[in-house]
Amino acid sequence: MGPDDLGPGMTAGALWIVRLVPDDPVAAPLTLAATAFPGVSALFGRTCLRAYPSCGCDACAEDPARLIEEFEADVADLLEGRFSEAVTEHALRFAFLGASRERRRSRPRRRGDGLAGATFDYRPWSRRFTA
């Protein structure tokens, strides 16, 4: 697996990269990368790239406790099947639909991004229990 396989914005310059792929092909994968700046990047599904913190500069002063809560809620939504994404002609759209929050966003597509138009309504990850 090379850097291009990790999705938009993930680079070989990351300190470490972990890709978690569920057993069910209709559940969303999750890729995490530790970066020198700003911190942790997460690729939810195929196109939803989020950074925690989103900026990292001192002027923005994002609250670490709030960032941890947001990151945990985003991961929980993905694992529990409350995350979806869509690739349209002009935009990449995603939604986190948690029990106590709903967040939808979109961003313009780049020309030549190689993505085919599709909608992904993901299922929850299966739970495994070991004794």
What integer pLDDT is reported at residue 102 of this predicted model? Answer: 87
Q: What is the pLDDT of residues 15-62, one digit of tens each?
A: 888 999 998 999 999 999 987 776 888 999 988 988 888 877 778 888
pLDDT, average across residues 6-22? 75
- Single pTM value for the model: 0.83
Q: What is the pLDDT of residues 76-124, one digit of tens each?
A: 999 999 999 999 988 999 999 987 788 899 988 887 777 888 899 999 9
Rg for the chain (alpha carbons), in Å?
15
- Angle (CA) 110-113-109 rounded to 5° is 30
What integer pLDDT is reported at residue 129 of this predicted model? Answer: 59
Helix (H) or strand (E) holding 34: strand 30-34
What integer pLDDT is reported at residue 32 of this predicted model? Answer: 92
